[in-house]
Chain A
Amino acid sequence: MASDEHQGATEGDEGSKARRILIGLPKIKAPADFGLRLQRRLTEERRRMVRSVGSLSLVPVRISIYTASVIAIVGVSILAYYVLIRTGVTPEEFSSPEQKIEAVPFGDSLLNEGGR
């Protein structure tokens, strides 16, 4: 390509005969059914464009699903924060099934109260 540069000759005799021959070539035309075939392809193209627009309309739905997921995660996190930390319940206590309940002797307390 570089060898082509800076060799801009003008239209001279050289090759002018070839030019005349080429100009004399008959003009090739599109077939008679060209418009019909093009219309068919354009109809397909329009359908394809509608389909692609349709698929684009799914994007907001997809976004809202993701948004809902994020909101749900954030919501659960906030709830967990309030339940576990703000209320003073440690995760160990929350998850421990054995809660220590001080045993109060049922009979003794009644006797004591009655004794008063």
Chain B
Amino acid sequence: MALFQGGNEEAFNEIVARYKNPLTNFLFRFLGNYDDSIDVVQETFIRVFRKRDMYRPIAKFSTWIYTIASNLAKTELRRRALRGWLSLGQLRAGCGQDVDVADERYSPEKPAESALMEEIIQKALLSIPQKYREVIVLRDIQELSYEEISKITGLSLGTVKSRINRGRTQLQALLKDIYNV
């Protein structure tokens, strides 16, 4: 990052190469839509490019980039909620909750059973509250430390741990019938 701040554009390409897949994974699990996730990852890198002078090496770069991605993802979720609210009038009575369905395009040749299981898990993940989902994805899927999650979310360590536990419990309850966990 220091090289990139010094004007080395190759360093930026290196950052992209290093973080594009972890961020895509995080955002897909958090947002539940592949195209939206890619848009947010792209926007994250644009922000990094634009705000490169604002980064201070006192914080880990991964924490900084995850914070940007997480904030953009929350903005996207708010936008979706607003869109959903605006289109409420168009929905017919009796329609169920609008649940994001996992996008299968990223792996078309996936075996049907594991794809189904993955879709079930993804749906369960998307049905737990956003505040729990965010920390669970960061901890259990991205395997970040509690300290890093605390910095990314701006929450205390205690709150992070509490939310992770509550989220896992909810997730386990949702999956127990299907997955026999």
Least CB distance, A88 to chain B, in whole angstroms? 63
Which A1-42 residues sit within 8 Å CB-CB of chain B?
1, 4-12, 14-19, 21-23, 25-31, 34-35, 37-38, 41-42
Cβ < 8 Å to A, chain B residues 1-51: 13, 16, 20-21, 23-25, 28-29, 34, 37-38, 41-42, 45-46, 49-50
Of the candidates B23, B24, B140, B162, the one whose C-beta lies within 8 Å of that of A23 is B140
On whether the beta carbons of B16 and A8 are closer than 8 Å, the reply is no
Q: B54-62, B74-82, B90-98, B153-161: which one contacts chain A?
A: B153-161
A93 within 8 A of B: no
In the assembled complex, the CB of B132 is this many whole angstroms from the nearest CB of chain A, namely 9
CB A30 to nearest CB in B, in angstroms, measures: 4
A37, B159: Cα distance in complex, Å: 38
Checking A8, A25, A35 against B141 with a beta-carbon cut-off of 8 angstroms, the contacting residue is: A25
B91 shortest CB reach to chain A, Å: 30
Q: Does B118 contact A (CB under 8 A)?
A: yes
**A15 partner, pick from B34, B106, B171, beta carbons under 8 A:** B171
| A8: contacting residue among B38, B131, B157, B179, CB under 8 A | B157
- A42–B46 touching, CB < 8 Å: yes
Cβ of A5 and Cβ of B46 under 8 Å apart?
A: no
Q: Judging by beta carbons under 8 Å apart, are B171 and A45 in contact?
A: no
Given contacts A22-B136, A26-B118, A28-B37, 5 further A-B contacts (CB under 8 A): A1-B159, A4-B162, A26-B107, A31-B106, A35-B16
Q: Quick check: B163 and A18 within 8 Å, CB to CB? A: no
B171-A10 in contact (CB<8A): no
